[in-house]
Structure 1
């Protein structure tokens, strides 16, 4: 039983708090194992040769625990039916083994669990038919589709600053929409809460910071509904793309001195709402607005009270004073009773804690704040003002534990990798060149996001596909020759990532060597150089380049389905490069030896005005690193940071919307956030990865040898020396 509770605790930790690549697989495995163990434990209780009146209580708590695990997951009918069968088994167990001393609270608690199962099945059906959730795309297709009113989407009348003209639906359709034949239509826009209404609500009753957060949530939610339209194949009017593109360019990507994180925060919330809509229970909890939310919270509160009642009744029977009064009770029997009391107390306490956590999770969620803001726009009163103030001021209660636990998990991951490097075979040295620890602090992530946003601001979002040129003159002067050298001929995403990652790793080793960092043994840290060392522009550029380099490699290794090329191509390129590294770096026991080995060949490279990328991918990366090392330290890392920022921007556009939607089950990737931006702008691919005439198809296995360890030579000549080095 203790092991089962431990498994349940792990599932709650994984499902509600931690996000990591193997999350969905881990949860599926734990779900199957815990269910099998639960059925076995209940069977053992029923078949036991002796009767214990606490068996039904323990079984009921285990089923309640199991039910609470999926509180934030997208629970389905099959899961709830399984719980219902377990409840029937618990009822039979109580009839045959239960005590009449706590008869009433036990059956009340059992009834609440049964009610919760039935309600969840009903709520799922209601949510699937709701115009706010399940049929949202169907409604938006009628409202914003080709047959919609032109007045609803006129880019000329739209103002991204005030949101005037952006009549994107946010809330209220379920009451004010009606069915005509087999289609849906909106009878009257006035009672509905649209994006422009929320942004133009400057009521003095709300604090400016709360009003701004409410506007951000409404904008993100409206955009997430457009993303869902694309996922579900809904066709929208062409002008809606122009309107959204204008909103992205003029508002989300615009520089805001007062709030530098505005753009990335809106896009992250956009993807988070999409994830919640697809893979969590929030659409079911809010299927009827505050009514369904209130019912869910009320059931949790009643369960709390009944659990406390049950605990009180059991305590009366199993109190220590009462047990000591029995003269015929020996020490062994007393110890057994004490253990049973502890198990009962622990199980009831765990259930009560879970119920409190579930209530807080729903109450302080972004969905509750969004709903409260929409209600306030339609009905402004002091009661709603109080609710909004409370929700927005205390949202950090749930955010703090999440960040702490993720950082703790990454810290342990880093130490596990260090142990792996210490005790594994010689192959660990070659693998270390490609797989770095991902424990990077929040400041490093902020630097990287800011640099990517800067790169996005320089892009022409009107074009389709995305132009492959480096648009910024400041960037072109420093980085153009390096950029063109890596994407010449038939650029493949996996090849370009590996070439630049190897170049970045070699530049990092050079930087560490110049900084006096010992390179005899492999380091377990994410960066070889202490981040407190570099300062100013060098510090930011160094952090961004390493962060994005490791992140892009993470995508290639763990999430190749999110890259704009066939998965087979990505995997083949990576496998061949690792095999090549195994052969070339055999016997290398440190970073310094690796560096010396790889940099021997590039010393024969041509003059400083040309970059000839030839040989296999490792050699190409070394040649690129050798050319970069000839620059001064700051300029070198600025070039790397800008190239990586633009590279991840070109990786993001794709038509693989199903892959991104499926990957959201394990959490939101940064690449998905950038993909969402391009999706809103109608950009599905980059010119960078388009095949030239006569080139091999990216989906075929022929031609993969060019990406392998025996890759054919590639030559890139820069004719004009003036356009290269700065």
Structure 2
């Protein structure tokens, strides 16, 4: 900076001072000083928010969705942006022509116009890409977007005079208009495509026909493990290529059986991928079993999406899914546990978690990952930039009336920041910011423009990265690899897939995590769930939940914890005698927290993954599920089986009683030990008076005292009991209770999904209900062909 200021002082004193004067003249005008300063400050905050949102929010995960709270805030803020900035632009434009006829817009007016164009390009980051056939927003969003683009085009081409300035701003406008057209075309094609918007209708007909054809085949092979998966004809991709004819009961797929038998068919099924992965000649799928599981997740995502869009799941399909998941996937994993290092339950929840992520991105994506495929990569990231560059060159030429040489000379000569350079300009201005307010706000305005440009560049690069590393693109590559022998024989294409996998492995976070809330130590964080700690679901919890849901039958239906108590501690069954699952959760949560406070975990002792019956592992399962259950009651009551208002009432009354019983100072300031003593005193007082606990807090205190008494001398059996009860309670809360329950799970996808949604997906696929299975598993497993 010193070099620029000293070596070019004469240049700075003449050219730059004139530029600074033009840019900051509005600040020295007492009539417009306040709104201009406020505008610069607000724009700086907005630009910094966009920059941080693009940069720091991406370090933790590779995702195509945005937090709905952030999206709502930005949408609300930007809704007033164009009218306010248009007014300020008009004021700056009038100031430009105050002394007579205007020959060119002032620097201030051009700066505001630049902000308007850059914010319009960044606005799409907070707008969801909807490709459902219903089109929740209809055409209103596209019309509003087109109106904004048309208005900006009017401001650019009607108000700018010099060819170079009009070309620079025209290029940005062309880019914004091209992005709008690209988004509109993608959405409309997606809505009309049988691979996206119309897929539920087609897939319902496909599943009906597939199960009818499969039921007649004789059972000549094994019906367990990988053999069951190899015979599974659940479609992954390509069903839109089938010959179809619309009928009164859906689509008639006249060539389905023939298409499934063909090896080179474009219809890729789970069975084809599993067979290829079992082929000794194929090294890609055989080496990494996660690829075939990802394709299974995609097939299940398509099936579950029908449920969210009011297409029923038949009982035959539920039986089929039950066998595919529990007799196919789970038993294959158990058989390969020593081969690939995975434990029981890990593969199942990996498949289900990926399925829920597909749902999240399909309904709430702000980037076009839903269309990820080699063809879309070619058109969107190779052909589209070429077209934009051609239109930009055409804009430069048209702005100079066809004089090519003059067009490119004026592009640099008429734009001061391009010809001089932003760094040299900043070097001339920075030394004066401490003594001159106009120079200070000039730096603010230049910083705003720079941050917006950086955020735009980063967003374009990140969109490309997310596209390449997305699960959607990987599934599309694997399906092309499966259906096209040329891909399998090409070392280059196989190498590309392996390198993408290598990058994905270093950026992915495969663990399923849950929020943790404790009523004994976390009272003041009710305002935001983002402040709560997060913990990976213990592997033993996954194993236990998988085993419990697999064993659901008429003889062993799901319960709110009573079945676990009947086997080991019948005297505690009163703790589950409630029609409210929220009350049972809070009762056992308080009891578990009291037990954990009385018998803390040994320091520096890590759980052994293979020792499922150890005290440490049972404690981890009980504590993780207990605190997650309390979190659901406090923050997501709509995801539980009870009515939402009833769950809120139970939680509110429990908190109020806890605050009243401990006093204000004890509730907010006392430690965990003090709260434990107070709850023990409450339980002992009721026991001495022979009064049954009438409230959730009273039941929780009594249960905690009973668990502590049982753990005297040896706490391992107690923690085993607690872990089994919590496994039963969480499994009981998973199945669908009503259509409002289904709607709540769909809305929860905007936040990235919850672990309870993963379990809900499993119970929906397999037909598991709270009173037992919806459909009894047949004696002979159904065929999948």
Q: TM-score, normalised by structure 2?
A: 0.72
Q: Is structure 2 residue 388 aligned with structure 1 residue 279?
A: no
**Which residue in 1 is equivalent to 2:631?**
554
Where does 1:560-571 land on structure 2 (aligned, <5 Å)? 560-571=637-648
Deviations 1:76-135 (A, max 9, x none): 544343333222232233231465225445423322321221222222122122222222
Say if 1:68 and 1:59 are closer, same or farther in 2 by CA, change over 3 A.
Answer: same
**Which residue in 2 is equivalent to 1:265?**
350
Say if 1:292 and 1:479 are closer, same or farther in 2 by CA, change over 3 A.
Answer: same
Say if 1:170 and 1:145 are closer, same or farther in 2 by CA, change over 3 A.
Answer: same
Specify which of 113, 117, 135 is matched with residue 60 of structure 1: 117
Distance 1:46 1:435 in 2: 42
SS of 1:177's partner is coil
Where does 1:379-390 land on structure 2 (aligned, <5 Å)? 379-380=484-485, 381=487, 382=490, 383-390=492-499
Q: Is structure 2 residue 359 aligned with structure 1 residue 296?
A: no
Distance 1:559 1:470 in 2: 18
Q: Is structure 2 residue 209 aligned with structure 1 residue 150?
A: no
Specify which of 184, 204, 209 is matched with residue 141 of structure 1: 204
**Which residue in 2 is equivalent to 1:650?**
732
Contact kept, 8 Å, 1:503 with 1:621, in 2: the verdict is: yes
Contact kept, 8 Å, 1:14 with 1:23, in 2: the verdict is: no
SS of 2:232's partner is coil
Contact kept, 8 Å, 1:452 with 1:649, in 2: the verdict is: no
- How big is the alpha-carbon RMSD for the aligned residues of Structure 1 and Structure 2? 4.4
Say if 1:340 and 1:503 are closer, same or farther in 2 by CA, change over 3 A.
Answer: closer
SS of 2:553's partner is coil
Distance 1:22 1:491 in 2: 37
Q: Specify every segment of 5 or more residues in structure 1 that has no aligned partner in the other structure, as ranges.
A: 418-426, 513-528, 689-726
> C-alpha displacement at 1:675, in angstroms?
1.0
Q: Is structure 2 residue 180 aligned with structure 1 residue 117?
A: yes
Contact kept, 8 Å, 1:227 with 1:680, in 2: the verdict is: yes
Distance 2:57 2:245 in 1: 37
Say if 1:667 and 1:452 are closer, same or farther in 2 by CA, change over 3 A.
Answer: same
Deviations 1:139-173 (A, max 9, x none): 12212227963327869575541413211111112
Deviations 1:436-476 (A, max 9, x none): 9887887x5241x5324323314455636971469999x66
Specify which of 457, 465, 468 is matched with residue 363 of structure 1: 468
Q: Is structure 2 residue 708 aligned with structure 1 residue 629?
A: yes
**Which residue in 1 is equivalent to 2:500?**
391
Say if 1:603 and 1:167 are closer, same or farther in 2 by CA, change over 3 A.
Answer: same
> C-alpha displacement at 1:637, in angstroms?
2.6
Distance 2:303 2:500 in 1: 26
SS of 1:29's partner is helix
SS of 1:180's partner is strand
Contact kept, 8 Å, 1:599 with 1:626, in 2: the verdict is: yes
Distance 1:355 1:164 in 2: 40
Say if 1:325 and 1:219 are closer, same or farther in 2 by CA, change over 3 A.
Answer: closer
**Which residue in 2 is equivalent to 1:131?**
194
**Which residue in 2 is equivalent to 1:249?**
326
Distance 2:196 2:423 in 1: 56
SS of 2:244's partner is strand
Distance 1:585 1:575 in 2: 16
**Which residue in 2 is equivalent to 1:545?**
622
Say if 1:135 and 1:394 are closer, same or farther in 2 by CA, change over 3 A.
Answer: same
Specify which of 342, 349, 354 is matched with residue 459 of structure 2: 354
Distance 2:150 2:619 in 1: 61
Contact kept, 8 Å, 1:585 with 1:594, in 2: the verdict is: yes
**Which residue in 1 is equivalent to 2:419?**
317
Say if 1:555 and 1:463 are closer, same or farther in 2 by CA, change over 3 A.
Answer: same
Distance 1:279 1:352 in 2: 23
SS of 1:170's partner is strand
Specify which of 493, 516, 536 is matched with residue 445 of structure 1: 536
**Which residue in 1 is equivalent to 2:100?**
none
Distance 2:551 2:580 in 1: 23
**Which residue in 1 is equivalent to 2:85?**
41
Q: Is structure 2 residue 752 aligned with structure 1 residue 667?
A: yes
Distance 2:444 2:585 in 1: 58
Distance 2:531 2:445 in 1: 43
Distance 1:343 1:130 in 2: 41
SS of 2:769's partner is coil
SS of 1:113's partner is helix
Say if 1:307 and 1:214 are closer, same or farther in 2 by CA, change over 3 A.
Answer: farther
Contact kept, 8 Å, 2:195 with 2:240, in 1: the verdict is: yes
SS of 2:764's partner is helix
Distance 2:637 2:426 in 1: 65
> C-alpha displacement at 1:6, in angstroms?
3.2
Distance 1:285 1:367 in 2: 6
SS of 1:532's partner is coil
Distance 2:301 2:141 in 1: 27
SS of 1:133's partner is coil
Q: Is structure 2 residue 232 aligned with structure 1 residue 166?
A: yes
> C-alpha displacement at 1:391, in angstroms?
2.0
Distance 1:571 1:335 in 2: 52
> C-alpha displacement at 1:433, in angstroms?
11
Contact kept, 8 Å, 2:245 with 2:251, in 1: the verdict is: yes
SS of 1:184's partner is strand
> C-alpha displacement at 1:569, in angstroms?
1.6
Say if 1:316 and 1:13 are closer, same or farther in 2 by CA, change over 3 A.
Answer: closer
Say if 1:71 and 1:621 are closer, same or farther in 2 by CA, change over 3 A.
Answer: closer
Distance 2:308 2:185 in 1: 25
SS of 2:236's partner is strand
Larger radius of gyration: 2
**Which residue in 2 is equivalent to 1:31?**
75
Say if 1:307 and 1:479 are closer, same or farther in 2 by CA, change over 3 A.
Answer: farther
Q: Is structure 2 residue 45 aligned with structure 1 residue 6?
A: no
Specify which of 82, 87, 91 is matched with residue 153 of structure 2: 91
Contact kept, 8 Å, 2:595 with 2:704, in 1: the verdict is: yes
**Which residue in 1 is equivalent to 2:404?**
none
> C-alpha displacement at 1:44, in angstroms?
1.0
Contact kept, 8 Å, 1:195 with 1:222, in 2: the verdict is: yes
Contact kept, 8 Å, 2:619 with 2:720, in 1: the verdict is: yes
Contact kept, 8 Å, 2:581 with 2:733, in 1: the verdict is: yes
Task: Tell me which moved more, 673-682 or 181-190.
Answer: 181-190
> C-alpha displacement at 1:353, in angstroms?
1.1
SS of 2:276's partner is coil
Specify which of 632, 642, 654 is matched with residue 577 of structure 1: 654
Task: Tell me which moved more, 261-270 or 229-238.
Answer: 229-238
**Which residue in 2 is equivalent to 1:640?**
722
Contact kept, 8 Å, 1:245 with 1:461, in 2: the verdict is: no
Deviations 1:467-499 (A, max 9, x none): 1469999x66874436623223x4320110111
Distance 2:544 2:426 in 1: 73
Distance 2:743 2:144 in 1: 29
